[in-house]
Amino acid sequence: MLRTARPNRVLAALLVVTSAVHLGAQLTSATRLAEVTQWFLMPLLAAWVLAATSSRPRGRLVGLTLAALAASWLGDTAPDLVPSSSSFLVMVGFFLCAQVCYIAAFWPFRSRSVLASRRAAAPGGLRTRRVGAIAYGVALVTLVAACAPGTGSLLVPTVVYGACLVSMAALATGVSGRVALGGAIFLVSDSLIALHAFTTWYALPQHGFWVMLAYVGGQALIATGVVAQARTGAGADVGHGASAYGRPSGRRARAADADLT
């Protein structure tokens, strides 16, 4: 236990320090420092996940989360290596892969998410899930409607990416409360990027800082929530478990939201 906890703490500390330096660089417009520190954020988070799950076999949830973090890292770094005219599309392409990985990771938990069918919903939870599903649907329609006039030939890719992004966040509600929060914050981060790219009225002060704060925070919440879920031994057959979006119950749900060391 001590052998596992020490690397976890070191990696967590490195991630916190690197994130703080990166966010500080965003605030002070230190562009090169912001670029370089961004390259290390997802590798450090992925290394923490690997260390935190080293004591037991890694299942589908952890494996696909690591794949999503790898795709996110490519989305962070590859745009710096291509011509500026292509950097945005390269970034979106890799983050689309990340969203698909997260969707695949969270899919076995769909019966606990806001997307659960009437048959799968637990008694008393149907109304809550309907409200949640409607909220995510409204978020998708609103984001697409706001961005569509400025997308031009990128309208279809924008709709596809938006649908995947919102689906990821909605499915995250089935894993645990922490993962659900992370998915929602990740949705906010990418929505800010879309508004900045495709609208003329959007003007959030310190745009880059807020995007990266939400990005790092969202990914960290997803990763730590996934590790907590993996430590409970939860598998794909979760149809009768508690909804992360509704009221969690039982030892497994309490353990999934416990603090990590």
% of residues, the chain, pLDDT over 70:
82
Q: How confident is the model at residue 125 (pLDDT cuts 50, 70, 90)?
A: low
Confidence band (pLDDT; 50, 70, 90) for 3?
low
Each residue of 147-180: pLDDT tens digit?
999 999 999 999 999 999 999 999 999 999 999 9
Confidence band for 260, pLDDT divided at 50, 70 and 90? very low
Tokens 């409970």 sit on residue: 232
pTM: 0.84
Length of the chain: 261
- The residue among 105, 231, 128 whose CA lies nearest residue 175 is 105
Dihedral over alpha carbons 22, 210, 128, 250 (to 10 degrees): 20
